[in-house]
Amino acid sequence: MASPSIKVGDTIPTGTFSYVAWSPELENNLACGVPSKLSTDEWKGKKVVLFSVPGAFTPTCHINHLPPYIHKYDEFKAKGVDVIAVVAANDPFVMSGWGRVEGVKDKILTLSDTYAEWSASLGLTIDLNARGLGIRTNRYAMIIDDLVVKYVEVEPAPGVTVSGADAVLAKL
């Protein structure tokens, strides 16, 4: 597994994600919402926990990765985290649908890293062509404080360890 090109102490590059902001109208499963853009520049002055999954609704991501972040939301907030976000190469409608199924509401941003471009700029993609999934965001986590990386870890093997909620909480 290749090491990320982004390191602790680096400033994150500017990137733009698409996402569907949660609203009460999305309680209706026939509503889709309207995608909007979020620039990483909006995280200036904020403490951000960003974790990445190879794909929404995929077994490990859906069962073992996102749910602990939801359950430990209050612990992250108690440690001064302003923003919690999950990112994947899925489109913004899939990310929104996944967030709704998981019950995220407005607690965690479900961001679309289209074509895994931002993650690629950090050396944080994975080639899943052999599994029919293409190039995806790798499974990783970052703590970003005022746009500076304070923690970045990539999963060394299948599963959730260094990018999981407990590992990140321990580093805050």
Q: Which residues are catalytic?
A: 61
> Which of helix, strand or coil describes residue 86?
strand
Q: Which two tokens stand for residue 13?
A: 């590059």
32: nearest Cα among 90, 88, 94: 94
> Which of helix, strand or coil describes residue 137?
strand
For 66, phi and psi rounded to 5 degrees? -70, -45
Containing 109, the helix (H) or strand (E) segment is strand 109-112
Measured between alpha carbons, how far is residue 122 from residues 55, 89, 143 in Å? 18, 14, 14
